[in-house]
Structure 1
Amino acid sequence: MRLLLIFLVLFSKMAIAQSLLWEVSGNGLKQPSYLFGTYHILKDSYLDKTPKVRSAFSSAKGVVVETTVDSSAMLSMAMRAMMPGKSLKQLISEADYKLVSDEFKKMTGFDLTMFNQMKPIMTATTLSLSYAEKEVDTLRQFTGQPLDLYFTVEAKKQKKVLTPLETMEQQMAFLFDHDPVEKQAADLVRMVKEKDEMRGESKHLTDLYLAGDLDGMWKLSQDYEKRYGDLSYLVNERNQAWMKKLPALMALRPTFVAVGALHLPGPSGLITLLREAGYKVKAL
């Protein structure tokens, strides 16, 4: 569940309206820009059901995404995911290793030894994706590219100005390096041991997203943080950094901003921060 929240993120006070697409106007903007909350593991055929999103994207001259990926970034990610001199077997007990190994094989088809020297968050992410894909039928109904990648590819194809808010290196630092590997390993074991308690949460989260229910996602994330720990470093700090870039980008040209949905609602979300900066932010 923690990792699925990250996928909506690796939140006016409340958002009030049920919408993933918001128009940003006023404060000197000659033309409106748009803010759209993505679900990083959802495929782009989802957009066939949301013509307003396609229309907003089409009308924009610029596209802003969290990050873009190239071959050098992938190599950097692979290197950052490794933990030289350590292994998962050293970080957890023999019994827990067998428990995780059996579950990992069952869910992914891979032998855990392939991941033994990778940081445990990588193993947990792979396992979490497998849980989501098997539990949530609605995810399998959509085809194509992941939403964020789709917007990146289409922006290049349509010769729109494409701007990443972060480097891949920065994103990987949030994912791989925020917690020590010892805590990552403990969280991985806990995830496997508590999988039955979490059953249904993936579907709940996906249903909230497909309903455009930002308030529901916000409340769910707050409930999760009470049980499993703070995730604000993935949202609040990054939102503040992004707000140093977004006003200038929107002033240059009408811009379509696509970021994880959990970046939108709440007292530190982009909807609130944009309003506090003087913009009119309206649900579409």
Structure 2
Amino acid sequence: MKIINKFLLISHIVFLASTFCSASNSVKNGLLWKISGNGLNAPSYLFGTAHGGPFVAATLILDSVPHLNEIFSSVNQFVGERGLTPINIIKAEFEMDSTYADYLNKEDRIIMDRILLRYLNTTSEKTKISPKILQTLIDSKMSVEIYRDIIFKEFKPNSDVANVLSTELKHISDVSMDYHMMAKAKNDGYTIIGLDNLIEMNWENISLSEPPLSTQIEDLVQLIKTNAIESKIRKRLEDTQGLKNAYYKQDLDKIEEFYVSSMAKNKSDISIPNGLFEEILFGRSKKWMEHIPGIILEKPSFIAVGVAHLPGKDGLINLLRLQGFTVEPVN
């Protein structure tokens, strides 16, 4: 739980960090890659998922990835970034000792309750989850609502409903692609492995200090009062439209270019600790590689991780090749 705790603590920037990638190596386009050779009795597969940011309808793409369903059915082990941690353990890890009602005045409780009831069907008297995690949950639910509204507005009032439903609309969900695929694997009886559950990260040189809990709660209430969460979501969707289009086109080169640019812009953000991006992306990929070879040698696997973990000299495609595996796109 130590690893998950660190990730959720910085959940407001994980979208940027978990999908940034190095520009040093050019790779062929594609989201699905076959891993073979180097003693494997049967191939395993590597798939770049999309989570966070503009990807509230990313499962739309799954039917257009060549041979995805066939390949998914050819293995019986699913390897994701995180495993199926029981919800009661996660909940206990991030609960405060008191509820929000203990921190808020009457006016702020009314404001908070309005949002909590709308998006999470609860109230400040019942809510103990930490402010940063609560903000992430509200953001996720609100993103779905906003994106659905944006798509509806793209169609004329007399548009054929069937045409509307054939677009991203029916795929909009606050459940990420990663968990969507993991749930399918679980239902199919696959073994589930969470790579983050196998590793320990080096956080000693990265400052993850936070303001007092009361300050965090005040800041969250202020974001709600000023509609800042909604404004940030709309700005994020606008700024990442190109990224979403690149992902839907399965264009790794364009995705890589986008995050190189994003990394340069966010280096000046003092709210993001130095070294955090590198540790979340490159550090995790390298530590995963301490386990992935053994996992796929033991059993053919479908590995699904954030798409930015694939390209670059420190990406999984290159790291697997350096260990002697043949890694090639599935066309």
Distance 2:112 2:306 in 1: 31
Contact 1:120 1:181 in 2 (8 A): no
Report the secondary structure of 2:312's partner residue.
Answer: coil
Moved more, 102-111 or 273-282: 102-111
Distance 1:219 1:183 in 2: 37
Match of 1:141 in 2: 170
Match of 2:211 in 1: 182
- Give the letter for the 1:206 counterpart: K
Find out whether 1:258 has 2:304 as its counterpart: yes
Match of 1:74 in 2: 87
Report the secondary structure of 2:196's partner residue.
Answer: coil
Distance 1:200 1:274 in 2: 35
Query: How far did residue 267 of structure 1 move?
Result: 2.7
Find out whether 1:120 has 2:131 as its counterpart: yes
Q: Give the TM-score of the pair, scaled to structure 2.
A: 0.64
Query: How far did residue 139 of structure 1 move?
Result: 4.8
Distance 1:249 1:203 in 2: 36
Match of 2:72 in 1: 57
Distance 1:122 1:148 in 2: 19
Report the secondary structure of 1:18's partner residue.
Answer: coil
**For residues 124-273 of structure 1, what are the structure 2 equivalents within 5 Å?**
124-130=135-141, 132-133=143-144, 134-135=146-147, 137=151, 139-142=168-171, 146-167=176-197, 179-182=208-211, 185=216, 192=229, 195=232, 197-225=235-263, 226-227=265-266, 228=269, 229=272, 230-273=276-319
Query: How far did residue 21 of structure 1 move?
Result: 0.5
Match of 1:39 in 2: 50
Contact 1:23 1:32 in 2 (8 A): yes
Match of 1:282 in 2: 328
Distance 2:117 2:168 in 1: 20
Match of 1:18 in 2: 29
Q: Give the TM-score of the pair, scaled to structure 1.
A: 0.72
1:33-76 Cα shifts (integer Å, max 9, x gaps) = 11001124556564223242112211224321222325xx3122
Distance 2:65 2:39 in 1: 29
Question: Is the alpha carbon distance of 1:104 and 1:209 closer, same or farther for their aligned partners in structure 2, counting shifts above 3 Å?
Answer: farther
Report the secondary structure of 1:182's partner residue.
Answer: coil
- Give the letter for the 1:201 counterpart: D
Distance 1:15 1:242 in 2: 22
Report the secondary structure of 2:303's partner residue.
Answer: strand
Report the secondary structure of 2:67's partner residue.
Answer: helix
Distance 1:265 1:280 in 2: 15
Q: What are structure 1's unaligned runs of at least 5 residues? A: none
**Rg bigger for which structure?**
2
Contact 1:156 1:162 in 2 (8 A): yes
1:61-109 Cα shifts (integer Å, max 9, x gaps) = 4321222325xx312221222344797998xxx9xx89x9699679948
- Give the letter for the 2:193 counterpart: T
Which structure's residues are more often helix, by fraction?
Answer: 1
Report the secondary structure of 2:90's partner residue.
Answer: helix
Query: How far did residue 265 of structure 1 move?
Result: 1.9
Query: How far did residue 200 of structure 1 move?
Result: 0.4
Question: Is the alpha carbon distance of 1:13 and 1:242 closer, same or farther for their aligned partners in structure 2, counting shifts above 3 Å?
Answer: same
How many residues matched? 272
Aligned-pair identity in percent equals: 24
1:197-249 Cα shifts (integer Å, max 9, x gaps) = 54502433322222222333333333333324442332222212211111011
**For residues 95-110 of structure 1, what are the structure 2 equivalents within 5 Å?**
108=119
RMSD (CA atoms): 4.4
